[in-house]
Amino acid sequence: MSPARKFSDTDPGDSAVGADYFLVSPKPPVRWGLPLVSVIVAVVMTAAVAAGALMLVRHEQDRRAAVNEAAALGFASEFMVMYTSLDPYHANDYADRVAAQATGEFAKNFAGRLNEILVQVARSEPSTGEVLAAGVRQWNDDGSADVLIATKVTSKAPDGKSTIESGSRWVATAIKEGQQWKISNLIQVI
């Protein structure tokens, strides 16, 4: 055992135990400001990057759809100008041009009625076709587009003095085969 220590007036015992030994000092407060702001900024930045990526993907999808729609409309309009512009002196060339841009049901029907079409074109007056308006009616599951087209055909009367104009509406189904658009169905709408 250790001997008892005697305290005197000159040594009250504070020298053995520090004066602040029995004092409770509070811990410094945890500073949550900087970590909290860092977490919030990280979450906001992640959300901004994700939103930007989603907007970019949606923009690209819309752009591709607009490019496809413009290509289908452009091809169908050009085809209808060619289809409604008849030159009786070049009936075989006309039939070859139409057959080159036909596929599917339209190609079968055109090939089946080729002789009848050649005779009809050869007997007709020269005419000029014009597309007044065109719009995509719907996109089909196979990637084809049904295009509604309003056309006007202008031709000279047999006497050569007067001009005959007629209008018609068509539904042309345009489909992309490889890198080329073709007409797979053509129906005149009444």
174 part of a folded domain: yes
- Could you tell me where the beta strands, DSSP code E, fall in the chain? 127-139, 145-156, 163-177, 180-189
Q: How far apart are CA 138 and CA 174, in angstroms?
A: 11
51 lies in some domain = yes
> Looking at the domain assignment, is residue 179 inside a domain?
yes
User: In this structure, is residue 9 part of a structural domain?
Assistant: no
* 21 located within any domain: no
Number of domains within the chain: 1
Low-confidence ranges of the chain (pLDDT < 70): 1-19
Burial-class residue 148 by CB neighbours within 10 Å (0-12, 13-18, 19+): middle
Q: Go through 62-84 and write b for each residue having 16 or more CB atoms within 10 A of its CB, e for each that does not.
A: eeeeeebeeebbebbbebbeebb
Per-residue pLDDT, 169: 95
Asked if residue 18 belongs to a domain, the reply is: no
For residue 149, count other CB atoms closer than 10 A to its CB.
25
Residue 174, domain extent: 33-189
Which pTM value belongs to this model? 0.73
Q: How far apart are CA 120 and CA 179, in angstroms?
A: 32
**Direct distance between the N- and C-terminal alpha carbons of the chain, in angstroms, rounded to an integer:** 121
CATH number at residue 155: 3.10.450.50
- Report yes or no on 25 lying in a domain: no
